[in-house]
Amino acid sequence: MQKTLKDIGEFGLITTIESILKGQRGVRGLRLGIGDDAASLVPRQGYELLVTCDSVVEGIHYFPEFIGPKDLGRRAMVLNISDIGAMGGHPLYALISLGLKATTPVHHIEEMYRGFLVELSPFGAGVIGGNITRSENFSFIDITLIGEVEEGRVLRRSTARAGDAILVTGYPGQAAAGLELLLKGNGRGELVEHPLVQSYIRPRHRAREGKAIADTGCANAMIDISDGLLGDLAHICERSNVGALLIQEQLPVSDELRRGAASLGKSPYDFMFRASDDYELIITCDPGNIHSIRTAVSSICDVPLNEVGRIIDASEGIKLKLPDGRLEPVPPSGWDSFAG
């Protein structure tokens, strides 16, 4: 019979977590980690610290029947790493707070922490602290991630300029389609290996690509796609006081998304334009710098980088150019925690 958190208690769980974290490699700049009231860090000279936090809540951001604890740990860490990478940074230190039901098997928490470390270890990053509390009706994970970026290399949402090219990595919309396949299929086991479902369960961050882009000095603005292509492009437009023109024929649609959308009776753009946590990057740059950014991305991996439109004047809003040449206003749409 599996032991639960009720069986071992809070301090037994802390001991279990500490034993898993002993396998972490040395984390740069860490003077004091888990075991005291706070961690102690020494920042590197010439670097700025980046700090982000995000939560995933059972029944809202994930469904336990669709995702195992190790993949859940990986997914929760990926979305935080993605935020650091979208500003050109490198992740270093994670603080993890968990709200857990007493009936949770201890093995699930062990696997969740292994998932955290799978994503952190390639960066030489690690878990340096956190908190545990009991939650009666649902579980949650809250992660604060600290990273660093060389001074002067930070990329923001607020620095896009009219005339910039808009570039997008990968295939936005795949995670949304994968989630809909799971919901419509009632989580059938054979769906787990579907490429679109894998995009939802095991998303990939673009932190290495983001840092490579920042290092070129050629990008003007950047953001990760955590709310959906339109939702996050709208964040750039709002912060930069600009508009955007997207060209439908240039938007990247994978074969998997085309087939998956057809099986659901929808257009692939229905998924691309709605809330979808793909963790791809939206980049804006001077058109003359596209080649340099493409070269930087291709030096990391073979993910496609597509030019999908232009930044335009704020008064024009966000528009979509259809294949027949018509311009259609598109309202920003993306994940909203309270509407969604």
pLDDT digit string, tens, across residues 240-282:
999 999 999 999 999 999 999 999 999 999 999 988 899 999 9
Per-residue pLDDT at 143: 97
Tens digits of residue pLDDT in 15-56: 888 888 876 766 787 887 777 788 888 889 999 999 999 999
Tens digits of residue pLDDT in 80-133: 999 999 999 999 999 999 999 998 888 999 999 999 999 999 999 999 989 999
Total structural domains within the chain: 2
Tens digits of residue pLDDT in 310-337: 999 999 999 999 999 999 998 766 555 5
Same domain, 131 and 229: no
Per-residue pLDDT at 333: 66
Query: Is 340 domain-assigned?
Result: no
Query: Is 20 domain-assigned?
Result: yes
Same domain, 213 and 258: yes
For 10, the domain range is 5-150
Of the three residues 150, 173, 192, the one that is the final residue of a domain is 150
Same domain, 242 and 194: yes
Same domain, 98 and 188: no
Per-residue pLDDT at 25: 67
Q: What is the mean pLDDT of residues 225-243?
A: 95
Contact 245, 309 (CB under 8 A): yes
Query: Is 198 domain-assigned?
Result: yes
Same domain, 264 and 144: no
Per-residue pLDDT at 340: 52
Query: Is 155 domain-assigned?
Result: no
Same domain, 72 and 199: no
Confidence class for position 189, pLDDT limits 50, 70, 90: low
Residue 12 predicted with pLDDT over 70: yes
Residue 195 predicted with pLDDT over 80: yes
Same domain, 177 and 270: yes
Same domain, 93 and 121: yes
Residue 7 predicted with pLDDT over 80: no
Please give, one letter per residue, the 3-state secondary structure of the chain: CCCEHHHHHHHHHHHHHHHHHCCCCCCCCEEECECECCCEECCCCCEEEEEEEEEEEECCCECCCCCCHHHHHHHHHHHHHHHHHCCCCEEEEEEEEEEECCCCEHHHHHHHHHHHHHHHHHHCCEEEEEEEEECCCCCEEEEEEEEEEECCCCCCCCCCCCCCEEEEECCCCHHHHHHHHHHHCCCCHHHCCCHHHHHHHCCCCCHHHHHHHHHHCCEEEEEECCCCHHHHHHHHHHHHCEEEEEEHHHCCCCHHHHHHHHHCCCCHHHHHCCCCCCCCEEEEECHHHHHHHHHHHHCCCCCCEEEEEEEEEHHHCEEEECCCCCEEECCCCCCCCCCC
Query: Is 337 domain-assigned?
Result: no
Q: What is the mean pLDDT of residues 154-168?
A: 97
Same domain, 183 and 60: no
pTM: 0.92
Query: Is 63 domain-assigned?
Result: yes
Q: What integer best gives the mean pLDDT of the chain?
A: 91
Q: Domain holding 256: CATH number?
A: 3.90.650.10
Query: Is 311 domain-assigned?
Result: yes
Same domain, 175 and 208: yes
Same domain, 272 and 308: yes
Query: Is 307 domain-assigned?
Result: yes
Of the three residues 150, 183, 205, the one that is the final residue of a domain is 150
Same domain, 195 and 324: yes
Q: Domain holding 146: CATH number?
A: 3.30.1330.10
Of the three residues 150, 184, 205, the one that is the final residue of a domain is 150
